Amino acid sequence: MIFDKTQVKARSEQLALSLTRRLGAAQVVTDRDILESYAKDESSCEPCCPDVAIRARSLEDIVATLEEALQLGVPVTARAGGTGKAGGAIPIYGGCVLDVSRMKQVLEIDKTDLVAVVEPGVVTGELHAQVEAMGLFYSPDPNSLETCCIGGNVAHNAGGPRAFKYGCTRENVLGLEAVLMGGAVHQVGKRTIKGVAGYDLTALLVGSEGTLALTSKAVLRLRRKPEALTTLLARFSDEASATQTVARTIEAGLVPRVLEFMDATVVETLRQAGAGSVPEDTSALLLCEFDGPTESAVEADALRFADICEEQAALDVLAARHVGERNALWAARRDMSNAIKKRAAFKVAEDIVVPRSKAPAMLEGMRRIGERHKTLVAAYGHAGDGNYHVNVLWDDPQYDPHPAVDDLIRLVLSLGGTITGEHGIGVAKRRYLPWEKSEAHLALQRGLKSQFDPAGLLNPGKIF
């Protein structure tokens, strides 16, 4: 559905008036300067300013906003941390941004049921700290964990390095309180591990990018906090040895919680960030972590991993000697997306996935694409999952990166992969969705969208 921005603006003024009456002026933002702060996320997609923003503090505020917005025909884009990488939180037709970042309560942490019930504005890293202080563990760890929120993690099915062992957000959400456009509230899913009562709408809503329903509460799966942890850094003089090591590690039945790959350009970026001393002859790195109940179990896994690295001609395997070293490594890795941005004037960041067995072919193909299109290409990411963040970097303002990115996407699909592993489609990857999914399949997906949101007002212009 396409919206006329002038009409949307006029209707949004009505919405601001009616919600000022219902919620009070403090929660309704119409000041242009503040609205600008809702115009973009952490993608390179074109910003667009909303006409009004509502700062929700409760379920009732979300319900009121969605009731009035449906009545008046105003598009609503939900926003929590605003850290998305595909433009999902950008209100591309204007209208209303529903900001849930003030809904920050952790409502419940249950040590027996191993669940946490949280509001959508809870910052993921803050939830980690809170549950870890109780000996518990919430595993999803998107790299923006210090600023991203559970609401956005749910909307995008956020991943992160630990997804290799523990799954992405979807594998760790048991249930949701979800609000439909128009304000109907549904309790979706369960608070038990098992449960097959009806269709699995939790799985559908997680990753639906705010286009089907909005999250007002999430029931999250907790685990016991692993007592032991070891962090290893393996250096390789070529990429193929690193990807072979990933394959052999999995075949050996090892389950590191993290298995991250960095290519030579990324290694150089890491070096510039001052994260440990990485010698110049390094063409690829694997960052690997094992966690478990005891030091001895973790040590045995680490030794087995080191053997595999040696068999694949690793230059060396270093264990982080102390917490400071581990933290420095992770700080640099977590900031990699920003650090790479500084390597060139412009960048496009892709989030592709290939079957793990196809990683060598993907990296080789990626290099050829870089040469053919005369651009620097850097890859890093969650090698255990076959999920690589491939960055196309260039300096010339006249350079058009699309042919290179198009070739990359063709390569990924030819290898049986998928166009996005954890960042979502948003606006950034809409162009490529029909390359991966048939028209008939997209029609089925659009049918789901119109079942949930017949008026097409929830986050319009995203995904399709």
Q: Which residues bind ligand LAC (CB under 6 A)?
A: 143, 336-337, 381, 389, 422
Least distance in angstroms from the C-beta of 422 to ligand LAC: 6
Four-residue CA torsion sign, 190, 192, 194, 197 = negative
CB of 409 to ligand LAC, least distance (A): 18
Of 87 and 456, nearer to ligand LAC (C-beta) is: 87
Side-chain-side CA neighbours of residue 99 (13 Å):
20
For the record, the structure tokens of 332 come out as: 């640099």
SS3 70: helix
Tell me the residue type at 352.
Answer: I
Q: How far is the CB of 291 from ligand LAC (least distance, A)?
A: 19
- Name the residue nearer to ligand LAC (CB basis): 265 or 312: 265
> Of all helices (H) and strands (E), which one includes residue 118?
strand 115-118
Q: Tell me which residue has its CB nearest to ligand LAC.
A: 143
Burial class (CB within 10 angstroms; exposed 0-12, middle 13-18, buried 19+) of 455: middle
Smallest distance from the beta carbon of 401 to ligand LAC, in angstroms? 18
Nearer to ligand LAC, 64 or 286 (CB): 286
Question: What tokens were used for 387?
Answer: 């999920």
Type and span of the H or E element at 220: strand 214-221
Q: What minimum distance in Å lies between the beta carbon of 261 and ligand LAC?
A: 11
Nearer to ligand LAC, 74 or 379 (CB): 379
Q: Phi then psi for 288, rounded to 5 degrees?
A: -130, 140
The residue among 162 and 389 lying less far from ligand LAC, judged by its C-beta, is 389
CB of residue 398 to ligand LAC, shortest distance in Å: 27
Residue among 28 and 267 whose Cβ is closer to ligand LAC: 267
SS3 170: helix
- Quote the CA–CA distance of 9 and 93 in Å, as a whole number: 9
- Among residues 300 and 339, whose Cβ is nearest to ligand LAC? 339
258 is written with which tokens? Answer: 């993290």
233: its two tokens: 């850094």
Nearest distance, CB of residue 351 and ligand LAC, angstroms: 7
Residue whose CB is less far from ligand LAC, 54 or 90: 90
Q: Which H, E and C letters describe 175-239, residue by residue?
A: EEEEECCCCCEEEEECCCCCCCCCCCHHHHHCCCCCCCCEEEEEEEECEECCCEEEEEEEEECCH
**Least Cβ distance, residue 349 to ligand LAC (angstroms):** 7
Nearest approach, Cβ of residue 301 and ligand LAC (Å): 23
By beta-carbon proximity to ligand LAC, the closer residue of 115 and 332 is: 332
CB contact set of 34 (below 8 Å; sequence gap of 6+): 53
Q: Is 223 helix (H, G, I), strand (E, B) or coil?
A: strand
| Shorter beta-carbon distance to ligand LAC: residue 143 or 375 | 143
Q: How far is the CB of 159 from ligand LAC (least distance, A)?
A: 7
Helices (H), 163-238: 163-166, 201-205
Please, are residues 100 and 120 in contact by the beta-carbon 8 Å criterion?
Answer: yes
Q: Residue 356: what residue type?
A: R
The candidate with the shortest Cα–Cα distance to 259, out of 235, 290, 228, is 290
Q: Reduce the DSSP state of residue 163 to 3 states and report it.
A: helix
Task: Specify whether the CB–CB gap between 212 and 463 falls below 8 A.
Answer: no
CA distance 247 to 224: 28
Q: Which of 57, 156 has the CB closer to ligand LAC?
A: 156
Burial class (CB in 10 A: 0-12, 13-18, 19+), 341: middle
How far apart are CB 337 and ligand LAC at their closest, in Å?
Answer: 4
Number of C-beta neighbours around residue 142 at 10 A: 26
Nearer to ligand LAC, 175 or 381 (CB): 381
How far does the chain reach from its first CA to its final CA, in angstroms?
A: 10
Provide, rounded to whole angstroms, the least separation between the CB of residue 381 and ligand LAC: 6
